Amino acid sequence: MIKIVDLSKIKSILPKVDLINEIEKGFVAYSNGEVVVPPVGELSFDSPPGDVHIKYGYIKNDDIYVIKIASGFYNNSEFDIPTGNGMIMVFDQKNGQPIAILNDECYLTDVRTAIAGAICAKYFAPKNINRIGIVGTGVQARMQLQYLKGVVDCNDALVWGRNSDSLDKYEKDMEKSEFAISTTINLDEVINDCQLIVTCTPSEMPLINSVNEGTHITAMGSDTVQKQELDPSTLLKADVVISDSLSQSADRGEIHHALKDGLDMNSVVELGEVISNKINGRTSDKQITVADLTGVAVQDIQIAKAVLSYL
């Protein structure tokens, strides 16, 4: 019988899992050509604004395959309902029979995205970080800090938001986060004060227009053709540009936009190749590094398997 697993059960399982290790293994398998991931299925809505992503795939010779549906409707906060929702459906790879529905309400997508940000910081952030910059005030803006705790020795964060109301709410929500939170509506402060910057907004216009020596930026909000958080000049100035999926990044995200301005795709490295030491990541604290995360189905496969292993 198919298992239906609710959010409360999922949340009780995740603390038992070494999520960074599991997601890292997924990225390595993906870069090694061991994962089948078709192009992202996508629905875009104008009124109200929103998008739905369908990501699916399997690891060769594994036990399961996964289909994940995740939505983001950005006016939902006006109605006091979550911006994101969705579920992960798990099937037997040998016979196609359904095994489980992880009714996670988009929580697993949020977690695996935050974990990917932590992995990028682990491999690309400079050794000395005086301040972490967070661009955005939504769910990822909170979860990124939560998962950075384990990989970055810095508890000072500067958070940018579009208005004081969203920043006030963020600051209140993060009172018990173990981070000293400061807020600003001036992005230049983030650019100039922070050595590790994470952008996590649904912006369709560049927010970051410059980058300083020794900075690492992880951009994760731009996961469609339309979205863009970084001016292409930031990628062109970078010493290392990182993608979670070279094929996906050619069609969506920051790299997709920068290719039009002269970025050479052959100069972009894939995250799994750095994790497996096939390619160097950051080699100097003076370098500028930029990671463009569009979200890959292997992350959903790995986190779904981790949950199932405890059922």
Clarify whether residues 10 and 101 are in a common domain. yes
- Measured over the CA atoms of residue 274, residue 279, residue 284 and residue 287, the dihedral's sign is negative
Q: Is residue 246 part of a domain?
A: yes
Arithmetic mean of pLDDT, 51-59: 96
- pLDDT at residue number 271: 98
Q: Could you write out the DSSP letters of every residue in 139-162?
A: HHHHHHHHHHTTT-S--EEEEE-S
- pLDDT at residue number 74: 86
Clarify whether residues 170 and 212 are in a common domain. yes
Clarify whether residues 134 and 224 are in a common domain. yes
CATH of the domain at 7: 3.30.1780.10
Clarify whether residues 198 and 100 are in a common domain. no
- pLDDT at residue number 12: 98
Clarify whether residues 281 and 143 are in a common domain. yes
Percent of the chain with pLDDT over 70: 100
d(CA 252, CA 289): 19
Q: Is residue 114 part of a domain?
A: no
Quick: pLDDT tens for 204-262. Answer: 999 999 999 999 999 999 988 999 999 999 999 999 999 999 999 999 999 999 999 99
Tokens linked to 274: 């750095």
Which residues are bridge partners to 296 per DSSP?
A: none
Q: In which band, very low, low, confident or very high, does the pLDDT at 141 lie, cut at 50, 70 and 90?
A: very high
Q: In which band, very low, low, confident or very high, does the pLDDT at 77 lie, cut at 50, 70 and 90?
A: confident
- pLDDT at residue number 120: 98
Give the domain range for residue 233: 120-297
Tokens linked to 244: 């979670």
Clarify whether residues 177 and 256 are in a common domain. yes
Quick: pLDDT tens for 86-114. Answer: 999 999 999 999 999 999 999 999 999 99
How many domains would you assign to the chain? 2
Measured in Å, how far apart are the chain's first and last C-alpha atoms? 13
Q: Is residue 283 part of a domain?
A: yes
Q: Is residue 91 part of a domain?
A: yes
Q: In which band, very low, low, confident or very high, does the pLDDT at 294 lie, cut at 50, 70 and 90?
A: very high
Clarify whether residues 304 and 288 are in a common domain. no
Q: Is residue 172 part of a domain?
A: yes
For residues 275 and 123, is the Cβ–Cβ distance under 8 A?
yes
Clarify whether residues 263 and 246 are in a common domain. yes
For residues 156 and 148, is the Cβ–Cβ distance under 8 A?
no
Those residues with Cβ within 8 angstroms of residue 277's Cβ, 6 or more apart along the chain or in another chain: none
Q: Is residue 113 part of a domain?
A: no
Clarify whether residues 224 and 281 are in a common domain. yes
- pLDDT at residue number 78: 86
Average the pLDDT over each of 28-32, 71-75, 192-196 and give the range with the smallest value.
71-75
Arithmetic mean of pLDDT, 178-187: 96
CATH of the domain at 165: 3.40.50.720
Q: Is residue 12 part of a domain?
A: yes
- The three-class DSSP label of residue 258 is helix
The pLDDT of residue 2 is above 90: yes
Clarify whether residues 230 and 292 are in a common domain. yes
Q: Is residue 292 part of a domain?
A: yes
Clarify whether residues 190 and 257 are in a common domain. yes
The per-residue pLDDT of the chain, averaged, comes to: 96
Clarify whether residues 156 and 267 are in a common domain. yes
